[in-house]
Structure formats: C-alpha cells, structure tokens
A and B are shown apart, each in its own frame.
Chain A
Amino acid sequence: MGVKVSLGVSLGAVLAIVAVALVGGGVASLQPVFGIIVPYAAFVIFLVGFVYRVVDWGRSPVPYRIPTTCGQQKSLPWIKHDKIENPSSTLGVIGRMILEVFAFRSLFRHTKAEMASGNIVYGASKWIWLGALVFHYSFLVIAVRHLRLFLEPVPFLINGLDLVDGMFQIGAPTLYLTDLLLIGALSYLLARRLIVPKMRYISLANDYFPLFLILGIGISGVLMRFFIRVDIVSVKELTMGLATLHPVMPEGIGAIFFVHVALVSTLFAYFPFSKLMHAGGVFLSPGRNLSNTSRAKMHVNPWEYPVKIHPYEEYENEFREKMKNAGIPVERE
C-alpha cells in the first residue's frame, strides 16, 4: 500500500462525500437529511467522541513526572533558571503551554539536518512552523467568522473580525485573507507530504484524508462565496434553525451548500477517531504539561507498589568474610 493507494483512497473518500452531497442536496426531499440530520448527528458524535477520548486518557494516571527539559533547571539561586522551558511552578507550566498551544514553540525549534561533503549541516527551517501556524489560525478565524450564521443579532466582535479579514476590500463579496491563507497553507502541507521523500515515507492515508477534507471544505466555501452563489439569508435561516434547536429547511439553497455542510460534518464526525485529537492531546501531554520538580516535591504514583530490593543482610551474609578481610565494616561479626 504505497503513496498512490493512500492518496487515492483519501481523495476518493472526499470526492465520494462531495458526490453524495451533490446528489442528495439536489433532491428536495433529502435536503433535511443533509441540512439538518447529518450536521446534528456529526456534531453530537464530535462532542461525545471528543469528551470520551479525553476522559479515556484521563483514566490512565501519570505515574512519573518526566517532562522534557529544554532549558536550565532551577538549582542554585545564582544560576539563571529557564522558567518556561524547564518550569518549576504551575505558572511556568502555563507559560510553556501557552507558547506551545498558541505559538507552536517546539515546532519553531525545527531545524533541518543534511549531509554536505561528509558533515552534517544544520539549517533553520521554519516553513513547517509557519505553514502549521497559518493553517491553524486561518482555520480558527474562519470558524469564528462562521458564528455570524449562528448568532442573531451578529455580535460586534464577529462583524469586526469579518471586516478585518476582508480588509483589502477586494471584490464583492470581499475576499477573505484567511480563505487564501488556509488554502495556501493546506496546499503547502499537502505538497510537503508528497514531495519530501521522508514525509512521503511516514505519511498514511489518515494523514492525507484530513488534508483533502479540509481543503474540500475550504474550496467548497470559496466556491459558494464567489462562484456558485447561494442565498445567504436562506442559509442563515437554516443555520439559525439549527442553533435555536428549531430546525427549518428553507427552499432553494443550492447543492454546493450541502457539499460544504457534508464535508464539515464529516470533519466533525471523523475528529474524535483520528489524529486530529492532538487538539485535545496537546493539553494533556505529560511531556510538556508537568513542572520539573520531582526532586523538590514528591510526585505520587497511584499504582506504585513495593518491590523486593536485594537486602543488605543477604549481601553481607554472602560477602562477610571478604568484607572483613578487606577491612570493610560489617553489621554482624
């Protein structure tokens, strides 16, 4: 099962979803299924699945305090302690986690190592950091922006975000910067997996699938905004129906909308069963979220049990004569 199969299956799955939604969304009697039932079901799967996965992680304890220390430990008072990279307090851990979650601190460290005439040369390599950061933030802004379809009246902040995102005022409806950035970043992340041999080697179908899926969401959204227009007021009627738990199915919403919704629903439903759970996992990863204080404070392992340590008596019994001859003190002569 090489790259081609992984790629084919991932892309094929996304295209199949598109096809089903196109057909189903075009049939009026099926529209409530694609517009109401599927989104609700996917959302419930997402919430329940996410919580289940996190709780399942929580059911295993963290027996030992073993964070990765990427900076100077807290030791003698005159040695400068790296409070963030090697935290010794909750505050430091929070700082480390904030950097990790909001700025992708560890990924920022990324360098590439290559062989050049018999030497390993290291180069700064921030593209993956930038690509990942741009992708995540664009996706966040896009998601938040969509709240305009789920809130009435639309809060000032959401409108403001919309204005900032469309600040170049290119075209009408205005082009969102995040749309460009999202699709650009996703294309980079996908191209990287396909072009870099190491990445191709480690990539699985479940790496390609979410990329294609989110790319599909982005492209269908852009198509709907700029090319295959739908009536946004009818769309909001539907989305507000969902958000107020009084679902309605307005007439005349184009099939492209159902494609978009089907892809988003797939993402929601797929999320808890996939690597996308890193969104929750990053908070729970003991490699980063613990302070390095196990010498200063005792960390308790709930399942710790006593073990047999070779007793000194046995040791002395075995070596007593030799110890006495060597002048080593013994307990019993």
Chain B
Amino acid sequence: MSMNRREFIKITGLSTLFGLAGKGAFELLRPGVLDAAEHGHGHGAPAPEEPAEAAIRWGMTIDVEKCSEPGVVERCIKACHSVHNVPDFGDTKNQVKWLWEDDYEHTFAGNENEFMADHVKALPFLCLCNHCDEPPCVRVCPTKATFRRPDGIVAMDYHRCIGCRFCMAACPYGSRSFNWFDPRDALNQKEYNMEFPTRMRGVVEKCNFCVERLAKGQMPACVEAAPQALAFGNLADPDSNVRQILRKRSSMRRKLELGSKPSVFYLV
C-alpha cells in the first residue's frame, strides 16, 4: 500500500472537498498537478475522465419480441432484484428499480417511429440504466459518487452518495431511484443475497451491469435469466457477440438525440 498523491488526497478527504469546491480552483492553483496525479495512478487503466479509445465498452442487446414470451420479463427482473437486494416497497411512488418493464410509448417518448408496426407498439420493453458513453448523471454528481468506469459501466459508489439527487434529474431515462426509506424495511431478511450489500436510506441506486458478476466471469443476472432475449458483450470489439447481433439486426436506442450514447440496444 504505497501512498501516492491521490491516495493521500483521498484519505484526508480532500478530494471530496475539492470536488465540492470545484476542481477548477485547484487547477488554477497548481495547473496540471491534479491530472498528473490522477493519471499517474492506477492499475494500467486510464482515468475515467480521459477520452481515449477504450478496449472494452460493455453493452447489451434486448430482443424485444423474445421478451414478450410469457415469464421472460418477470424472470429477468426477479433475478436482478434478488441478486442485488433491491427493495420492493409495493407502490410506484417510493419504488426502487434497477430493471423494469415499460411500454413502447414511454420507452421511446418523444422520438417514436412515426408509423411503427402495431405489434411492436404492443410489446413490453425491458428498461434499465443505459450505461451511456456520455453519461449526463456523471457530469452533475458533486461528489463523484457516480462515475464512468473505463469499461463503459456507469457505476455508483454508495459510500460517497450524499443523496442530492442531481443525477436523477440529469438521467433522461428515469433509471435511478432514491431510497426515501430504509431499504431493509422492504426486504425479507431471509432472502438477502449475502454476497451483495444493501443500500441505506438517503442514497440513489441503479443498475450496475452486474459488475460484481462480471468480475467473477459471470454474465449479468438478467442475461443469465433470459439468454434467448438478452445478450451482453463488448461493443468495442467488432467480433463480439453483441456486435455480430447488431450487424444482423436493426436496433433502436432510447433518446439518441440527447447525445448520451446509450449502450443498451433494442432489437426490433
């Protein structure tokens, strides 16, 4: 555990303070230092801020028609929510959701295909965090609790979340939920997934593309639950499964006009 500059800053909590006070101020005082410190750190991975050709960009394809098969959507949602200890408060107002079902009009509100086939309009759409390439939620987070990993996953550090909900306002897809109550009140203690933590009251949460499973070489829980409908892979690799699928099938992405570059593709 050698102590480099970034760690020093982190341990004393100054990085957060600088985050709050504006990194710009620090830049003014010591131009380049911060960048150098951040770039100098790490395990070979470039810092998240760095725009560079990444080797990995995780993405997902959702075959909408296959999702309409009975039980698929429910199975996916249950798999996701139970593995991540997502609470169910039973009402939409306080709902916490990582993966959920919505209809065509809501999913593509504002840029519906003008004369979309009727049967498509009637299909259920699985919604989740789009793990955007240009995530607006990351830009607004004052504590950097939300950040974009080098592999394209938009991740959250719940320890840092202060519950300001700027990210919820910034996300165009409604992918984020706020814990108005202690989530453990709405979870069955006997059904806890002991390998994954819960959240606490006052923080925002969302889909994490199952980073903890990817680390163990597993597929995301939803993909595992419905392999016929969902596919997951590296969008940066032209030969990956998802790229091959996308080469063959026509797809849609949500709210492309916003320029956030979602990584979830709906196959229609």
Contacts and interface: CB of A to CB of B under 8 A. Distances in A.
A169 B159 CA distance: 8
A180 to B, nearest CB: 9
A226 B12 CA distance: 8
Interface string B207-234: 0000000000000000000000000000
Contacts of A175: 12-13
A165 to B, nearest CB: 13
A242 B159 CA distance: 37
Interface in A80-131: none
A57 interface: no
Interface string A146-183: 00000000000000000000001111000100000000
A168 B10 CA distance: 13
B238 to A, nearest CB: 43
B11 interface: yes
A153 B159 CA distance: 29
A170 B13 CA distance: 5
A226 B11 CA distance: 8
B16 interface: yes
Category for how many chain B residues contact A: under 10
B162 to A, nearest CB: 9
Interface in A288-321: none
Contacts of A169: 159
Contacts, number: 13
A170 B10 CA distance: 8
Contacts of B16: 168, 170
Contacts of B159: 169
A168 B11 CA distance: 13
Category for how many chain A residues contact B: under 10
A129 to B, nearest CB: 24
Nearest to B3: A227
Nearest to B11: A171
**Interface residues of A, dominant DSSP:** loop
Contacts of A171: 10-13
Interface in B1-37: 10-13, 16
Nearest to B15: A170
A175 B12 CA distance: 7
A236 B159 CA distance: 28
Nearest to B162: A168
A172 to B, nearest CB: 9
Contacts of B10: 171
Contacts of B11: 171, 226
A208 B9 CA distance: 29
Interface in A197-244: 226
A45 B16 CA distance: 43
A74 B10 CA distance: 58
A226 B9 CA distance: 12
A169 B12 CA distance: 11
A171 B143 CA distance: 13
A169 B13 CA distance: 9
A169 B10 CA distance: 12
A5 B3 CA distance: 37
A265 B11 CA distance: 29
A117 to B, nearest CB: 34
A226 B10 CA distance: 11
A158 B159 CA distance: 24
B189 to A, nearest CB: 25
B244 to A, nearest CB: 45
Nearest to A226: B11
A226 B13 CA distance: 11
Contacts of B13: 168, 170-171, 175
Contacts of B12: 171, 175, 226
B11 to A, nearest CB: 5
Which of A168, A170, A171: most chain B Cβ within 10 A?
A: A170
A170 B19 CA distance: 13
B141 to A, nearest CB: 16
Contacts of A168: 13, 16
Nearest to A222: B12
Contacts of A226: 11-12
A165 B16 CA distance: 17
A170 B16 CA distance: 8
A170 B144 CA distance: 13
A115 B13 CA distance: 43
B13 to A, nearest CB: 3
B17 to A, nearest CB: 8
B232 to A, nearest CB: 34
A313 B11 CA distance: 87
A175 B16 CA distance: 12
B93 to A, nearest CB: 28
Nearest to A169: B159
A170 B159 CA distance: 9
B16 to A, nearest CB: 6
A59 B257 CA distance: 84
5 contacts: A169-B159, A170-B16, A171-B10, A171-B11, A226-B11
Interface of B: 10-13, 16, 159
Given A168-B13, A169-B159, 7 more contacts: A168-B16, A170-B13, A170-B16, A171-B13, A175-B12, A226-B11, A226-B12
- A-B pairs with the 7 shortest C-beta distances? A170-B13, A175-B13, A171-B13, A171-B11, A170-B16, A226-B11, A226-B12
